Amino acid sequence: MTSLWGYAFVHQALLAGTITAVVAGVVGPFITTRNMGFAVHGLAEMGFTGAAGAVLFGFAPEVGLVGACFLAALAIGLLGVRLRERDIAIGTVLAFGMGLGVLFLVLYTRYATEAFSILFGAILAVSAEDVVWSAAVGAVVLAAMIAVYRPLRFASVDPDVAEARGVPVRLLSVVFLLIMALAVAEAVQVVGVLLILTLLITPAGTARRLTAHPGRVVAYSILIAVGVTLGGIVGAVYTSWPVSFFVASLSLVAYLLGRTFGARVRA
Amino acid sequence: MTDWVVQLEHASLRLSGRSIWSDLSVAVPRGEFLVIIGPNGTGKTSLLRVLLGLQPPTAGSVLVNGRAPRRGNPVIGYVPQQRAFDPELPLRGRDLVLMGLDGHRWGISLNERANRARVDRIVALVGAQSYADRPIGWLSGGEQQRLRIAQALVGNPSLLLCDEPLLSLDLHSQHVIVQLIARWRRDHDATVIFVTHDVNPVMSVADRILLLAGARWGIGTVDRMMTSETLTRLYGTPVDVVQHAGRIAVLGADLGGHDPVAAHMEDGA
């Protein structure tokens, strides 16, 4: 069993998993602060439709995945849906997206295996090329997050005063949706569309239980995301059970520990 | 020559086809404490938004320090009404204050130390040292609002725009907040424009009152404005102003003031 550690696919999985987890850990705290968990799920499901459509029309699924996430993010952002209507609008659009996805699946039956990996993740199947792709997307997300960090935080926690101070609140909201789309596309390869929240919400949700220090929330969120991802890959290599099962389970454990003991350390 | 901080000349504002205020001509000299009152929907907040450069006037001219209003004007400090923060929000009191200093700048902070000293000084000025490191959502309304004042003052503003900062605060907290603002104005020769629905907490510090009453408006000292005759004329309906034990009660007219908005993480999306 230990001999598996010599294989390139395991190294690639660990590398791509780490990159993805860092990205998810950085973006996650902003998703939770902005209450955008449902939007993340919606983007991911649109990504599934994009991937299915791409395969049907003869493109690589990754292209369809990123493209659809991006378009969906742009649509949500530019339509400027108000908070009150947001869940309804996203819910309606994502259901339509999944409807299209299942149609594509039926029209192109050979897609079933690929559909399974997009829905549930396939980190152990990433190629060296995928790792480079992950690193590139990850670098873009991190650079964008560093560039907008302060005004995005201001706009997220204190929108009225941020606007009064000249922060372009609406623009940042669109920019963050696009950043989120890239983070979703990245995280899909590890945990898949249906388990996306386990990387993009749970580590950040656990971190905010442990500290109220904004910088430390990001740091803890990264550590937790990397921990559960690497733990998930190790678990899968040893047992041949799915990676996403382990990642989601470890996330749940981390969150429950955070909820149980968080209040003691937070004050 | 008077140093005018805010000048409105025949300024009008229409929002989605409705006239909010029109032909408004008001000049605010440096160091004045101007209180704005008026029923809901008469554009008190919109007036502040015009001064902040977030909303252009429909007609007339508006000047702030002799120039057209512009977004992110660093001489302006803004104090919003108190609103509940999520107890889980990863933000401490001092982080809220720090955002008033550099939250609008792109990128990440590179001079933490200088900023921290500045935040410490202003936190001490408003007397919030003992709870500035606690999560903002765990603080009382009065404590949060002191930090709001610190957030507005940390940028060293010469013009303070306050939008119902006393709403949902107890009387003691109202007094503390008004005194903090009045002290800043005195020590820095700053100008204050203060929207409220209750003139009582600001009566001792207000220079003039601007009443926005829809079709009409009026401006004058507290004594001149808060009379049955003046308010009846401006509202166009009978209004009684009753003085009792140093407090003013206005009967028969709505002076604005609505329930505090629920906590929400608006992102425009």
The answer, yes or no, to whether residue B257 has pLDDT greater than 60, is no
**B38 and B102 housed in the same domain:** no
User: From the candidates A165, A180, A201, which should be mutated to test the interface with B, based on the most B CB atoms within 10 A?
Assistant: A165
Instruction: State how far the Cα of B195 lies from the Cα of B166, in Å rounded to an integer.
Output: 9
Regarding whether B182 and B135 lie in a shared domain, the answer is no
Domains identified in chain A, total number: 1
Q: Which residues of B touch A173 (CB under 8 A)?
A: 267-269
Of B72, B90, B95, the CB nearest to A208: B90
Chain B residues 141-180 with a CB less than 8 Å from chain A? 151, 161
- Does residue B83 fall inside a structural domain? no
CA distance A181 to A9: 26
Q: By the CB < 8 Å criterion, does B107 face chain A?
A: yes
B214/chain A closest Cα distance in angstroms:
24
pLDDT at B217 over 90: yes
Are B95 and B134 within one domain?
yes
Residue B159, min C-alpha distance to chain A (Å): 13
User: DSSP state, B92?
Assistant: B
Q: Are residues B9 and B116 located together in one domain of the fold?
A: no
* pTM, 2 dp: 0.92
Q: What is the reported pLDDT for B41?
A: 86
pLDDT at B211 > cutoff 60: yes
Decide: B197 and B255 in contact? Cβ < 8 Å: yes
**Residues of chain A contacting B96 with CB distance shorter than 8 Å:** 157-158
CB-based contact, B52 to chain A, within 8 Å: yes
B130-187 pLDDT per residue, tens: 999 999 999 999 999 999 999 999 999 999 999 999 988 999 999 999 999 999 999 9
Domain boundary among B156, B175, B201: B156
Res. A200 pLDDT band, cuts 50 70 90: very high
**Binding-face residues of A in 59-78 toward B, CB within 8 A:** 76-77
Q: What is the pLDDT of residues A113-136, one digit of tens each?
A: 888 888 898 899 899 999 999 999
Task: For residue B8, list its beta bridge partners.
Answer: B26, B62
Q: Do B209 and B246 reside in the same domain of the chain?
A: yes
Residue B82 lies in a domain: no
Instruction: Report how far apart, in Å, the C-alpha atoms of B128 and of each of A178, B38, B100, B139, B149 are.
Output: 38, 32, 16, 11, 10
End-to-end CA distance of chain A: 45
Residue A162 contacts B where some CB pair is shorter than 8 Å: yes
Torsion over CA: B254, B259, B265, B269 (sign): negative
B78 touches chain A (CB under 8 A): yes
CATH assignment of the domain containing A211: 1.10.3470.10
Interface contact B76, partner A, CB < 8 A: yes
pLDDT (tens digit, 9 = 90+) per residue, A3-47?
778 889 999 999 999 999 999 999 999 999 999 999 999 999 999
Tell me, yes or no, if A167 comes closer than 8 A to chain B by beta carbon: yes
Write out the two tokens for B104.
């609008």
Claim to verify: residue B252 and residue B225 sit in the same structural domain: yes
Q: End-to-end CA distance of chain B: give it in Å, rounded.
A: 48
Residue B135: domain span: 88-156
- Assess whether B253 and B175 both reside in one domain: yes
Count up the domains in chain B and report the number. 2
**Dihedral, CA atoms, A164, A166, A170, A176, nearest 10 degrees?**
-120
Cα(B176)–Cα(B162) distance, integer angstroms: 15
Instruction: Note whether residue B269 is domain-resident.
Output: no
Q: Which domain holds residue A261?
A: 2-266
**CATH number (domain holding residue B66):** 3.40.50.300
Alpha helices in chain B (DSSP H): 44-51, 93-102, 112-125, 141-153, 171-188, 222-225, 228-235
The answer on pLDDT for A84 being more than 70 is no
* Phi–psi pair at B23, nearest 5 degrees: 50, 45
What ipTM did this prediction achieve?
Answer: 0.90
Q: What is the pLDDT of residues B25-63, one digit of tens each?
A: 999 999 999 999 998 889 999 999 999 999 999 999 999
* Mean pLDDT, residues A60-70: 90
- Tell me if chain B has a CB within 8 Å of the CB of A92: no
A214 with B88: Cβ contact below 8 A: no
How high is the pLDDT of residue B255? 66
pLDDT band at A56 (very low <50, low <70, confident <90, very high): confident
The three-point CA angle A198-B92-A39 to 5° equals 30
Q: Are B49 and B181 in a shared domain?
A: yes
Query: How far, in Å, are A28, A80, B69, B80 from residue B64 at the CA level?
Result: 40, 31, 6, 19
Domain boundary among B118, B133, B156: B156
B99: which 2 tokens? 């955002």
CB contact under 8 A, A83 and B264: yes
What tokens appear for A248 in the block? 């989601």
Contact B108 A146 (CB under 8 A): yes
Residue B78 and residue A164: Cβ atoms within 8 Å? yes
Interface check B100 vs A, CB under 8 A: yes
Q: Would the CB atoms of A217 and B88 count as touching at under 8 Å?
A: no
**Residue from the list B85, B92, B104 with its beta carbon closest to the beta carbon of A167:** B104
Q: Are residues B17 and B139 in the same domain?
A: no
| B181 and B254 housed in the same domain | yes
Pair (B145, B214) in one structural domain: no
Whether residues B59 and B94 fall in one domain:
no
Closest in B71, B108, B264 to A166, CB measured: B71
